């Protein structure tokens, strides 16, 4: 079976740092992606971790611990435009292209 857990909502203020956690249980695991989706918009790719450790892309960083089946997305210097839903998405076993989304975290950035 497969289970993915994220906090349902997070609230933070502009300029702050926020961490969105993801725990996963999958039958096969190749890596962990993160996607952002604004209300009414399409999901857009943010980052990917295939190996343990931190990947940094501008204000966004993503971390993976394969042994703990755990990852997180770190958003720094929060801006109002970061208000969106964030999904972790483990990728199954390489060749199967099975991209399943986590439960999602709604981030509200306040002034």
Partner 1 sequence: DTEVTQTPKHLVMGMTNKKSLKCEQHMGHRAMYWYKQKAKKPPELMFVYSYEKLSINESVPSRFSPECPNSSLLNLHLHALQPEDSALYLCASSQEAFPEAFFGQGTRLTVV
Minimum separation from the CB atom of position 81 to partner 1 (A): 18
User: Between residues 16 and 46, which has the closer beta carbon with respect to partner 1?
Assistant: 46
Question: How far are the Cα atoms of 2, 65, 67, 69, 97 from residue 91, in angstroms, in the given order?
Answer: 12, 15, 16, 13, 7
Minimum separation from the CB atom of position 15 to partner 1 (A): 27
What length is written for the chain? 111
Which residues make beta-bridge pairs with 18?
75
For the segment 24-43, give every residue that binds partner 1 (CB under 8 A). 31, 33, 41-43
Does residue 96 bind partner 1 (CB under 8 A)? yes
- Which residues lie near partner 1 (CB under 8 A)? 31, 33, 41-45, 48, 50, 87, 91, 94-104, 106
């Amino acid at each position: 079976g497969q289970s993915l857990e994220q906090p349902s909502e997070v609230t933070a203020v502009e300029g702050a740092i926020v961490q969105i956690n993801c725990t996963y249980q999958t039958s096969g695991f190749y890596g962990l992606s993160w996607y952002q989706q604004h209300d009414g918009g399409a999901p857009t790719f943010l980052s990917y971790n295939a190996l343990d450790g931190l990947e940094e892309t501008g204000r966004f960083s993503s971390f993976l611990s394969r042994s703990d089946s755990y990852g997180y997305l770190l958003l720094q210097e929060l801006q109002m435009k970061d208000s969106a839903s964030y999904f972790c998405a483990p990728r199954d076993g390489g060749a199967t292209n099975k991209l399943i989304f986590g439960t999602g975290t709604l981030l509200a950035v306040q002034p």
